Amino acid sequence: MAAGAADNDRDRPLRLRARCGCTAPALPAAGGIGRRGLLFGAPALAALWAARPAGAAEPPLPWRALMAPGWAPASYFRSLPAAEVGALDDDDPRARALLAQLHALARRAPPDRSLDGRAVRLVGFAQKLAGAPGRVERCRFVPYLGGCIHRPPPPANQAVVVDLAEAVPESMLPYRLWLAGRLEVAATDTALGASAYRMRSGRLSAFDENADRAFALPYLVL
- Separation of alpha carbons 108 and 105, rounded Å: 5
pLDDT, averaged across the chain: 74
Listed range (98-112, 118-132, 169-183) with the worst mean pLDDT:
98-112
> What does the pLDDT read at residue 217?
60
- Name the residue with higher pLDDT: 94 or 222: 94
The model's confidence at residue 134, banded by pLDDT at 50, 70 and 90, is very high
**Number of DSSP helices (H) and strands (E) in the chain, helices first:** 5, 5
Provide CB contacts within 8 A for 31, sequence distance 6+.
none
> What does the pLDDT read at residue 84?
78
pLDDT (average), residues 146-163: 78
Residue 179 Ramachandran class (φ > 0 left, ψ -120 to 50 alpha, else beta): beta
**Per residue, what are the HEC states of 143-188?**
CCCCCCCCCCCCCHHHCEEEEEEEEEEHHHCCCCEEEEEEEEEEEE
With CA atoms as reference, report the closest residue to 113 among 185, 188, 183, 196.
185
Answer whether 147's CB lies under 8 Å from 12's CB.
no
> What does the pLDDT read at residue 51?
45
pLDDT (average), residues 1-21: 37
Helix, strand, or coil (residue 138)? strand
Which superfamily does 60-215 belong to?
A: Protein of unknown function (DUF3299) (2.40.50.870)
pLDDT winner (highest mean) among 100-104, 146-150, 199-203: 199-203
What does the pLDDT look like over 20-46, one tens digit per residue? 334 444 433 333 333 333 333 334 434
Degrees to nearest 5, angle at CA 126 with 194 and 180: 100
The burial class, CB within 10 Å (0-12 / 13-18 / 19+), for 1 is exposed
- Separation of alpha carbons 34 and 44, rounded Å: 13
The model's confidence at residue 152, banded by pLDDT at 50, 70 and 90, is low
pTM: 0.70
> What does the pLDDT read at residue 82?
74
- Separation of alpha carbons 50 and 206, rounded Å: 9
What does the pLDDT look like over 65-76, one tens digit per residue? 999 998 887 777
**Rounded to the nearest 5°, which phi and psi values hold at 107?**
-65, -30
Provide CB contacts within 8 A for 191, sequence distance 6+.
129
